[in-house]
Structure 1
């Protein structure tokens, strides 16, 4: 094999190590990923113009792969804003408020409702959807605002975002990087998500009740601002809907999404097809509700909601695109951008590395599970949760090639670890949405989440070893 082409593999591996190092030190990886793309192209082709073009081409490739995910998130954010502004979200959630009569019920009802809504709307919009209504109710029931924020984080940014069964943005990123179907990752993640979610939320609840009894956690713990003010509705419609119309839309929205779920199961829709169904439903709902709420200004306001959603989507995925572009080079993107420059019989850089590792290092399921958890947790240190899950998928591919099986389980384990750490449960700057609406200090919220999440990851990793 040509020494230059062997060097391509080593250079790719070197940049993976550097990216992990940057994430540990909380440094931005964008410039590093772009440099890696350029140097890989230059080393493989020896052609400077082609290498420069490859950087831009890799971005186009990544955007094409991510575009469906970006669009669905953007549309759903636009829908969530019109629901919030029109007051429909309050009507949707108000029946659950009647169930909250104790701190324990407040924790579990808030958390479970957050999880369900987050599966359809993603956690950040879901915080806005339910926080304004349930926070004052939960506080009146005796649950500190910090406890409400914990429930939102663990159930929404933890369970719902790490599984992402409806929108399937996270499984698609990891599945693409691992080179397996989205459905395989989703199926493999079910038992892991159940264990991680059950252990983490139960441990968090136990610690919370213990500290409430001892006085270590009070109604004022972690508060930064007045809770009532933080939880009050943040907007009103310029042309408010009548109570009857709000009730109509409050029923229509969940019913249509429930029908989507039924269709996804009956018609076996997964990945892009499932995303398209949810996205089309959300888009039509947003337009229909905008016209009903704003009447004569409905056309202009509908465009505004769409624009706001797109701004949110590209702002969230801006840091993801460069790192995804780099990790896509480990698979088919390298051939598309730079041609058949790898050795005959090569199936991509990552697969080649996996084969080499399989012949050099006898790995076992225990080492693989621990490694993927560690890699996922490290990649989550940037506070995104999504920017590093492509890395988790690539490494799962590499380790599975060595072990001989278990790629879907390893990929799901890396995805769960990355999103639980970086998606909004441990990194303070990723906790801001829930912390802000609950009026608590994000650093205190992160501190409260550390033990439950670490214990949950440890138990889930051990459980994953038995599945491999």
Structure 2
């Protein structure tokens, strides 16, 4: 353990302390990356280069995630232009009978949409269309934020069962089939999510239900004017007319921290009622993705269709979204469809980097500790042995972990949660997969289960439930609650869910 090792670990400890304090860690990650580079290379040049190279490596590794978010967001933007996004989930609004039912329905719908399209791209759609109906039924915005974060940023993202990106990354190091990890991660995420939803409901949600007068007074922020226009189109189609400025689902700009709305902007001009083309698209898009899901599941569990390669779910979904974008734009505007596609894709890229770009410096710091990336970040020549600061530290701790499945499982959960402090959760999955293979061989625990436990710990932490520099800030902003309060109230339900799920997985999987 060199001085650079200790400086990196000191930076990691400071990062954890900053997380506990619910403060932003971007500046700390930059300084820690610089200090680690200087300590290892012995020069300011190495330290300065490490900051830049770390950002480059992090961007490259996270680029597939950014692109899939951009493509799905662009497709939803094209649907929004037709008013088809609102029509797609309009039937679900009738399910919101009261605040208690609204909590369950919002959780289920958010989970299903997030499993199909990933949570971040569908957040504006959920906030613009479903959130006003849930609040009108009596669910407080804070309860809605808890339901959205737990099911979307937590449950759906931690298993990533349809896209298959996370299980593919875990499988790289574990040397086990990605579907085995995906199956176990799905079970763990469902157990953790149900427990977290129940704890959050008993602890916060049921005591904050709104009466009709209070619900009518709620003003919900929507960060994108286009999503507010989608809601206006939907209400117009239902005969509800236009809404006063600042009403539920109206537009408002957010403060820099996502901690609540500023004064509402004027209500957007209502667009015409949905056209037949919009109705066709509203039915065709979910049907298309449902068929894609059926195809993938048939390939995984039967021999009726060929199984797709590990990690091919994201390319399939991304390619489908891109093709759907082209078709929808052509249907919407036959003369200017090429320009519309460019505009929607640009907006999608901007949205992806605006919501997830803050994780790049933090991920760069995490990557310095992984030998697969540290050589490039520190500017080492090709062929030189790259240091693994985090790997080496865990290797020193590993002999002290009892070779008993239960200890190995909870050690993997803790390590996964530490890896997730980057605000994304997935960059370190190849490392946790490798560690799962090592601990599994020594303790007799199932390697795929250990990798799935670490994947859940990393994803729940960094995906958007426990750290405020993740996409949790988008959830807070769209629901109009404080992101710091939201992260604080999520801690007990999420950690309880993960502990219970890990204990059950250790025994049953």
SS class of match (2:493): helix
Distance 1:381 1:53 in 2: 23
2:283 paired with 1:290:
no
Equivalent in 165, 171, 190 of residue 169 of structure 1: 165
String of CA shifts for 1:80-104, please: whole Å, max 9, x gaps.
2222343211100001111221222
Structure 2 match to 1:182: 178
2:467 paired with 1:449:
no
Structure with a larger share of its residues in helix: 1
Q: Residues 54 and 361 of structure 2 are in contact (CA less than 8 Å); yes or no, is this contact kept in structure 1? A: no
Structure 2 match to 1:264: 296
List aligned pairs for 1:95-174, cutoff 5 A.
95-174=91-170
2:416 paired with 1:373:
no
Q: Against the structure 1 CA distance between its residues 416 and 201, is the aligned structure 2 distance closer, same or farther, given a 3 Å change threshold?
A: same
Structure 1 match to 2:465: 425
2:225 paired with 1:231:
no
Q: Residues 188 and 412 of structure 1 are in contact (CA less than 8 Å); yes or no, is this contact kept in structure 2? A: yes
Q: Residues 370 and 389 of structure 2 are in contact (CA less than 8 Å); yes or no, is this contact kept in structure 1? A: no
String of CA shifts for 1:226-282, please: whole Å, max 9, x gaps.
796352479989986843111100111111111211222323224442221111110
Q: Residues 230 and 436 of structure 1 are in contact (CA less than 8 Å); yes or no, is this contact kept in structure 2? A: no
2:187 paired with 1:191:
yes
2:286 paired with 1:246:
no
2:338 paired with 1:306:
no
SS class of match (1:98): helix
Distance 1:404 1:15 in 2: 32
SS class of match (2:464): coil
SS class of match (2:308): coil
Q: Residues 405 and 444 of structure 2 are in contact (CA less than 8 Å); yes or no, is this contact kept in structure 1? A: no
Distance 1:330 1:434 in 2: 33
Distance 1:403 1:99 in 2: 48
How far does residue 20 in structure 1 lie from its aligned partner after superposition? Answer: 4.7
Equivalent in 378, 397, 409 of residue 449 of structure 2: 409
Q: Against the structure 1 CA distance between its residues 229 and 65, is the aligned structure 2 distance closer, same or farther, given a 3 Å change threshold?
A: same
Q: Residues 57 and 337 of structure 1 are in contact (CA less than 8 Å); yes or no, is this contact kept in structure 2? A: no
Distance 1:288 1:138 in 2: 32
How far does residue 321 in structure 1 lie from its aligned partner after superposition? Answer: 5.3
Distance 1:246 1:402 in 2: 57
SS class of match (1:201): helix
2:495 paired with 1:464:
no
Structure 2 match to 1:24: 17
Q: Residues 59 and 325 of structure 1 are in contact (CA less than 8 Å); yes or no, is this contact kept in structure 2? A: no
SS class of match (1:455): helix
Q: Against the structure 1 CA distance between its residues 332 and 428, is the aligned structure 2 distance closer, same or farther, given a 3 Å change threshold?
A: closer
Structure 2 match to 1:4: none
Distance 1:416 1:107 in 2: 23
SS class of match (1:231): coil
SS class of match (2:342): helix
SS class of match (1:363): coil
2:73 paired with 1:73:
no
How far does residue 378 in structure 1 lie from its aligned partner after superposition? Answer: 3.8
Q: Residues 118 and 156 of structure 1 are in contact (CA less than 8 Å); yes or no, is this contact kept in structure 2? A: yes
Q: Residues 379 and 418 of structure 1 are in contact (CA less than 8 Å); yes or no, is this contact kept in structure 2? A: yes
CA RMSD for the aligned pairs? 4.3
SS class of match (1:229): coil
How far does residue 371 in structure 1 lie from its aligned partner after superposition? Answer: 2.3
How far does residue 21 in structure 1 lie from its aligned partner after superposition? Answer: 3.9
List aligned pairs for 1:81-96, cutoff 5 A.
81-96=77-92
Q: Residues 219 and 248 of structure 2 are in contact (CA less than 8 Å); yes or no, is this contact kept in structure 1? A: no
Structure 1 match to 2:371: 329
How far does residue 73 in structure 1 lie from its aligned partner after superposition? Answer: 2.2
Q: Residues 171 and 433 of structure 2 are in contact (CA less than 8 Å); yes or no, is this contact kept in structure 1? A: yes
How far does residue 460 in structure 1 lie from its aligned partner after superposition? Answer: 1.7
String of CA shifts for 1:319-354, please: whole Å, max 9, x gaps.
4652464355249988x97555569xxxx9998888
String of CA shifts for 1:109-144, please: whole Å, max 9, x gaps.
111111111112221221211221112222222222
Which moves more between the two structures, 296-305 or 178-187? Answer: 178-187
Structure 2 match to 1:277: 316
Distance 2:191 2:10 in 1: 30
String of CA shifts for 1:25-84, please: whole Å, max 9, x gaps.
3433345447657876x69xxxx9999999988877766654433322221122222223
Which moves more between the two structures, 429-438 or 244-253? Answer: 429-438
Q: Against the structure 1 CA distance between its residues 309 and 179, is the aligned structure 2 distance closer, same or farther, given a 3 Å change threshold?
A: farther
TM-score (ref. length: structure 2): 0.73
| Unaligned stretches of 5+ residues in structure 2 | 20-24, 223-245, 253-266, 300-305
Distance 1:406 1:33 in 2: 35
